[in-house]
A = this chain, B = another copy of it.
Amino acid sequence: MDGKPGLRERKKQRTHAAISDAAITLFLEHGFNQVSVAQVAEAAEVSKRTLFAYFPAKEDLVVHRLADHETEAARVVRARPPGAAPLTALRDHFLTGLRERDPITGLNDAPQVRRLTRMILDTPSLVARMERFKTGAERALAQALQETADTPELTARLAAVQIVAVQWALAGDNAERLAYGESADARYAGAVADAEHAFALLANGLRQLAPGE
């Protein structure tokens, strides 16, 4: 495609990676709040000003890796095979993620991943930053539902917030268990069962909590 990234571009990517790597390493070793951005900049051999040119805020040094997932649900809905229902596509995608131990499902127990997850869950400002991804994911998914499933705007938005909320709840549940010791393999069966239950709930509604029995 682009046979020439160009020197400037390559250097930028290297600097970006250098800063990110230095940050993650230091944060994992000493804790997010115990390391200042100045220290990160120094470790990456870059000025503080340059660091902020690459990452808008300290939190982004950690969460920028998850930025791709912001539009993941929307992409899954758009890319589903013709005739397939959006919810089915999303469920299958989530189950695939579990099977492959995709970190986004919370079911990856590689030591680094687990430590990173735990750090995020234990750091309020990082959790807050993650919430913004959630909001973005809701918007993108709502749009995708509206455009590809012929869903009215309000319904699309409501469905999107429900779906995203449920997916995060599932992932958060898995992540929390692993972060505090359970192994991914031990959790797998339960995670699958929970996910299937959750998507069934999404599809069929909260009958248990509604009137007409």
Q: Give the interface size bracket for A toward B.
A: 35 or more
Q: How many copies does the complex hold?
A: 2
A128 interface neighbour in B131, B145, B158, B164, Cβ under 8 Å: B131
The reply to whether A166 and B158 form a contact with Cβ atoms under 8 Å apart is: yes
CA distance A135 to B164 in the complex (A): 14
The SS class assigned to the A binding surface is helix
Which residues of chain A in 150-181 are interfacial with respect to chain B, using CB atoms and an 8 Å cutoff? Answer: 151, 154-155, 157-159, 161-166, 168-169, 173
Identity of the chain B residue whose Cβ is nearest the Cβ of A212 in the assembled complex: B203
Question: Quick one: given A128-B131, A205-B204, are A155 and B197 in contact (CB under 8 Å)?
Answer: yes
A208 interface neighbour in B84, B151, B166, Cβ under 8 Å: B151
The reply to whether B151 and A161 form a contact with Cβ atoms under 8 Å apart is: no
The reply to whether A209 and B165 form a contact with Cβ atoms under 8 Å apart is: no
